[in-house]
Amino acid sequence: MERPIGHRAIDRLEVTIPLDPFFSLRAASSYCGLSGRSLRWWLSHPERPLPCYRVNGKILLRRSELDRWLSAFRRVGTEDVNTMVDGLLREIQAESNQQLGGQTPQGRGAKGQLRRTTKRVAPGLQNGTA
């Protein structure tokens, strides 16, 4: 049988598919940089459990699911330190107000707010010398 002019026969056909392998905890630890103990802890986390497969007691993690789970922790930029401190102070204030039943403890402002203070050092003692 003759082939038409200008057409070639296909000798080989390659089909590539993206691999989505399963990792053991040890392999997943090596892949993402978290310890095996940490990954095991995240498996049963109440809010963000790490998705896994358990086969005859062996824990397997699919790479795509691990990547998706890790991406939920992605942060861009850095939070301002003052914003972090103010947030922590608000949490402490809320906890102490709950414990005191809403009473204003001593050492706080009229509204019961915590205040940041700076330590003042005498000019001659700044470097630890008298």
The pLDDT tens digits for 50-100 are 999 999 999 999 999 999 999 998 877 776 778 888 888 998 988 888 877
Predicted confidence at residue 102, as pLDDT, reads 58
> Is the full-model pTM beyond 0.75?
no
Would you list the DSSP string of the chain?
Answer: -PPPTT---------------EEEHHHHHHHHS--HHHHHHHHT-SSSPPP-EEETTEEEEEHHHHHHHHHTT---S---HHHHHHHHHHHHHHHHHHHTTTPPPTTS-TT-----------GGGTTS--
Q: How confident is the model at residue 15 (pLDDT cuts 50, 70, 90)?
A: confident
Instruction: Say which range, 26-30, 49-53, 100-104, has the weakest mean pLDDT.
Output: 100-104
Predicted confidence at residue 42, as pLDDT, reads 96
Mean pLDDT of 111-121: 56
Q: Check pLDDT > 90 for residue 33.
A: yes
- Quote the mean pLDDT of the chain: 79
Predicted confidence at residue 26, as pLDDT, reads 95
Do 61 and 52 form a contact (C-beta atoms < 8 A)? yes
